[in-house]
Amino acid sequence: MPDRVSANELRVERLRRRRRYHPTRLVRAYLHDVWTLLREAKIPLLGFCILTVVNTFYLAFFFTSSPCNGTPCLSLPQALFETIRMYVFEINLDWPAQDRIGQALFFITPLLGVALIFQSVLDFGRFLLDKSSRREGWQISLAKTFHDHVILCGLGRVSYRVMLQLLDAGYEVVVVEQDWNSEFVSPALKLKVPVVQGDAREPDVLRHAGLVRARSVIAAINNDLLNIEIALAARHYHPPVQMVMRIFSDELDTNLERSFGVNSAFSSSALGAATLAAATVSRDIVHVLPLVDRIIGVSEISVNAESRLCGFVQTIEEQYDVRLIYHIDAQGRERRVSLMSRIEGGDTVLLLGSLGSLEQARMFNQRSKLGFLHPPQLQRPSPQFNTVIVCGLGKVGYRVVKALYDMQRDPEIVVICEQDTHGPLVSEIEALGIRVIRGDARNPELLQAAGLGRAYSVAAVTSDKLVNIQIGLAARRLRPDLHLVLRVFSDVMAEQLEELFGRHTVFSTSALAAPTLAAASIVCGIERAIEIGSRLYSTVTLTIQAGDAFVGQQIRQIREQAQVLVISVRRNEAQVLPLKLETCLDIGDEIVVLVDVARLAELRSQHAQTGEAATRRLVATQTGKLDQ
């Protein structure tokens, strides 16, 4: 039986079939390449041309032989032909016995000509026709044909995922990578993505990548200082360019955004930690969208036969206070999301809502006539099983613990960390009243001491994926019904491990962080992004102004007509709950919407025009009052 093909492999294969260089792009790249080669070989080529002209001129006007009675007997074409023959040592002319200049040319032309031919002409032709012999130069020539593209600096796990999502969303990418032997360079080249080799802090490298023509630059190296240096260099050489940085430190993130713009710096650990935390207290969570005062989750549910989730979309949404954002039928076909469409058994849906609403919908899906087929696992935290054991207190583990502590559900948290874990992190966690145990979380006795018997879930979020897998295996051996959350670094591995540990238990931090980095490179100021199907959707906060198209409209109308999903409304500094489809928006409302990034760009433009028009009306009104 063939192995199951991962979603990532399907995406890469789809992109390979779809992506082809347009003939005009190849022609332009060849012209760039020829010009580059001419400049690199200008000295030997110039010498070759000078030698050819001098020798041809001599043979045509000064060379004499006995049959010509002492007068020049070669025309210019004949002289050129004889010069070419001299380069290959086929001299068919009499020796100029009385002409010392001619004797010198007869010696110099064949010898120097051969050297120049081999150094310039032959190398030029070989490099021009055989791109593999100078692949770095050819990649630069290709990059020079790109406009309005995204420059991706550093090609690691996170940035490779960002590249795939940008390509899938229809945006062009040029990669800058210092290590040509990186495992992701070859896949990028196969996807027709130019890879410019070099240090992204260097002006020549940025120029080769097309900085002045790019829409944005993503600095996604796993080093805060390098990413800052890349951002500073890019802004220095092209100030208008939009910057997106991958940063760990929250304080550094805030300070950088004062210089580079709001939501220009993101931490991959922070982007992933909220989802990991939510997954420890709920099942089937694939992503979360943190808002100011609550968390909105995204849950993937396979609808059971005879499930209570079967029915019209509008009825399901109103009954469970959720929103359908993606729908795949039992045959694997994507269905258009509509309030009047139906959800049937065997469908797969993505639902968006609060963690409580999503859990309610999931539990009602389990309570079908075939619910007895589901394995006896804990389905939700309970007073008896309300402990979350977090294993690992690094960048991600620390953020997971903080996110859990801030949740309204307030589970009992126990942390297991290594003996050499950074002291201040441990002290800060203990100051919150959270119990911290030092030791190896793979040890069954340590897991029991941490309260495994009353635990709902164990989150293995260390920086070592093998250790996380071993922790999961050890915990499941002691408690087969336990809910697991494991952190890995490859989305391919995450999909493969689901067969061992179950669906939605293994998370790739790169997959969680990549959509936000990708979306931020397309539209300025986005807050968080997720991938729905092959499209990028982001959240953004808008304030309804006078003259906006949304004034007086119901959330239902905005969703159906503008393809914009309103997920939060704050009115008079208070949250509007419950948020019904019939809720109307008014001037001054602060809304959070989930929208396709391409559609968001259109909305931003319309919103800016509305603001300018309102300002002009206000100025005109004030001017009129002054005149009166």
Q: CA 550, CA 558: separation in Å to the nearest integer?
A: 7
Pairing of strands 455-460, 387-391: parallel
Q: Identify the pLDDT of residue 200.
A: 94
Q: Identify the pLDDT of residue 621.
A: 46
Q: Identify the pLDDT of residue 103.
A: 76
State the fold for domain 287-374: Alpha-Beta Plaits (3.30.70)
Question: What are the φ/ψ torsions at residue 264 (nearest 5 degrees)?
Answer: -105, -10
Domain ranges of the chain: 24-133, 136-269, 287-374, 544-620
Query: Would you say residue 374 has pLDDT above 60?
Result: no
Query: How are strands ordered across the β-sheet holding 574-575?
Result: 528-532, 535-543, 590-596, 565-571, 574-575
- Angle, CA of 63, 65 and 66, to the nearest 5°: 160
Four-CA torsion 488, 493, 498, 504, nearest 10 degrees:
50
pLDDT band at 62 (very low <50, low <70, confident <90, very high): confident
Q: How many CB atoms lie within 10 A of CB 423?
A: 8
Q: Identify the pLDDT of residue 614.
A: 47
Q: Identify the pLDDT of residue 262.
A: 67
- Average pLDDT (280-285) is 91
- Are residues 246 and 268 in contact, defined by beta-carbon separation less than 8 angstroms? yes
- Angle, CA of 135, 138 and 143, to the nearest 5°: 125
Q: Identify the pLDDT of residue 395.
A: 84
Helix (H) or strand (E) holding 289: strand 285-290
pLDDT in tens, 304-318: 988 889 999 999 999
pLDDT in tens, 70-83: 566 788 888 888 88
- Are residues 313 and 343 in contact, defined by beta-carbon separation less than 8 angstroms? yes
Q: CA 213, CA 174: separation in Å to the nearest integer?
A: 11
Report residue 565 as tokens. 């999903």
Q: What is the CATH number of domain 136-269?
A: 3.40.50.720
Q: Identify the pLDDT of residue 410.
A: 73
- Are residues 205 and 31 in contact, defined by beta-carbon separation less than 8 angstroms? no
Lowest model confidence (mean pLDDT) among 110-119, 290-299, 305-314, 609-618: 609-618
- Are residues 588 and 562 in contact, defined by beta-carbon separation less than 8 angstroms? no
Q: Identify the pLDDT of residue 370.
A: 47
Look up the pTM and report it: 0.79
Q: CA 438, CA 445: separation in Å to the nearest integer?
A: 12
Which amino acid is located at 156 in the chain? G
Which conformational region is residue 18 in: left (phi greater than 0), alpha (psi within -120 to 50 degrees), or beta? alpha
- Average pLDDT (320-346) is 92
**Inter-CA distances, 166 with 261, 270, 515, Å:** 21, 21, 9
Report residue 160 as tokens. 């490779």
Q: CA 523, CA 607: separation in Å to the nearest integer?
A: 14
Q: Identify the pLDDT of residue 267.
A: 82
pLDDT band at 510 (very low <50, low <70, confident <90, very high): confident
Which amino acid is located at 445 in the chain? E
Q: What is the CATH number of domain 544-620?
A: 3.30.70.1450
- Are residues 439 and 414 in contact, defined by beta-carbon separation less than 8 angstroms? no
- Are residues 461 and 276 in contact, defined by beta-carbon separation less than 8 angstroms? yes
Q: Identify the pLDDT of residue 367.
A: 61
Query: Would you say residue 382 has pLDDT above 80?
Result: yes
pLDDT in tens, 220-229: 998 888 999 9
Q: Identify the pLDDT of residue 622.
A: 40
Query: Would you say residue 37 has pLDDT above 80?
Result: no
- Average pLDDT (433-442) is 94
- Are residues 240 and 209 in contact, defined by beta-carbon separation less than 8 angstroms? no
- Average pLDDT (435-444) is 95
pLDDT in tens, 129-166: 555 546 778 899 899 999 999 999 999 888 999 999 99
Q: Identify the pLDDT of residue 169.
A: 87
* Same fold for the pair 136-269 and 287-374: no
* Sign of the Cα pseudo-torsion (199, 201, 207, 210, in order): positive
- Average pLDDT (496-519) is 85
pLDDT in tens, 237-272: 999 999 999 887 666 666 676 667 666 888 888 888
Higher pLDDT, residue 467 or 381: 467
pLDDT in tens, 561-613: 888 999 999 998 888 888 888 999 999 999 999 999 888 877 766 655 555 44
Query: Would you say residue 198 has pLDDT above 70?
Result: yes
Q: Identify the pLDDT of residue 202.
A: 94
- Mean pLDDT across the chain, nearest whole number? 84
Q: What is the DSSP letter of 492?
A: H
Cis peptide bond prior to 77, omega within 30° of 0: no
- Average pLDDT (180-186) is 90
pLDDT band at 620 (very low <50, low <70, confident <90, very high): very low
pLDDT band at 303 (very low <50, low <70, confident <90, very high): very high
pLDDT band at 104 (very low <50, low <70, confident <90, very high): confident
